[in-house]
Amino acid sequence: MAKQLEKVEKYDTVSPAAGDPAEPGLGPVPPGGLTADEGIGDAPYDTALFPPEDAERLRVGLQSAVVGFVDSPDRAVAQADALLDEAMTCLADRLAESRGRLRENWQGDGSVGTEEHRTVLLEYRELLRRLLSV
C-alpha cells in the first residue's frame, strides 16, 4: 500500500519541463531562448495543478484512508471517494481561475498584439500539457 501512496504523491503536481523550446509556428525565439513556462506566474504553486495547502490536505486524507482500511474498509473507501470528489472540485476551480486569467490577457479592448498572443498561447499550451501529463 505504501507504493500506491507514493504513486499518488508523485502525480499530484506536475512541473513544466525546464528549457522546453518554443514549437515551430509560434514566432521567432528571442535571444537566449524561450521556455514553455515563461509568463506562467511567480507564485510557487502556479506550476502545480493544486495549491500546496490543498495538495497536502488531500495527501494526508488519502494516507488516513489507506491506514484506516484494515479497521474499516467501507469507511476508507468512502473517505477516498470523498477526497477524489474534493480534488476534482479543487482542480475545476483552479482551471477556471487560470482560464479566466488567460482570457483577460487576450480578450480585451482589441489592443493585444502578436507578441502578447504568442505569450498567452504558450501559457495555454503549458497548462494543457500539465493537465494531460497527470
Instruction: Kindly list the distances between the CA atom of residue 124 and the CA atoms of 9, 53, 69, 87, 90, in Å, as whole numbers in the listed order.
Output: 25, 24, 40, 21, 19
Q: Percentage of the chain with pLDDT > 70?
A: 63
70 DSSP 8-state letter: T
- The model's pTM is 0.58
Task: Tell me which of 17-26, 49-58, 100-109, 122-131 is least confident.
Answer: 17-26
Predicted confidence band of residue 55 (pLDDT cuts 50, 70, 90): very high
Task: Tell me which of 2-11, 57-66, 123-132 is least confident.
Answer: 2-11
Predicted confidence band of residue 96 (pLDDT cuts 50, 70, 90): very high
Instruction: Between 83 and 42, name the one with better pLDDT.
Output: 83
Instruction: Kindly list the distances between the CA atom of residue 46 and the CA atoms of 24, 49, 64, 108, in Å, as whole numbers in the listed order.
Output: 25, 8, 27, 23
Q: Is the pLDDT of residue 102 over 70?
A: yes
Total Cβ atoms within 10 A of residue 128: 10
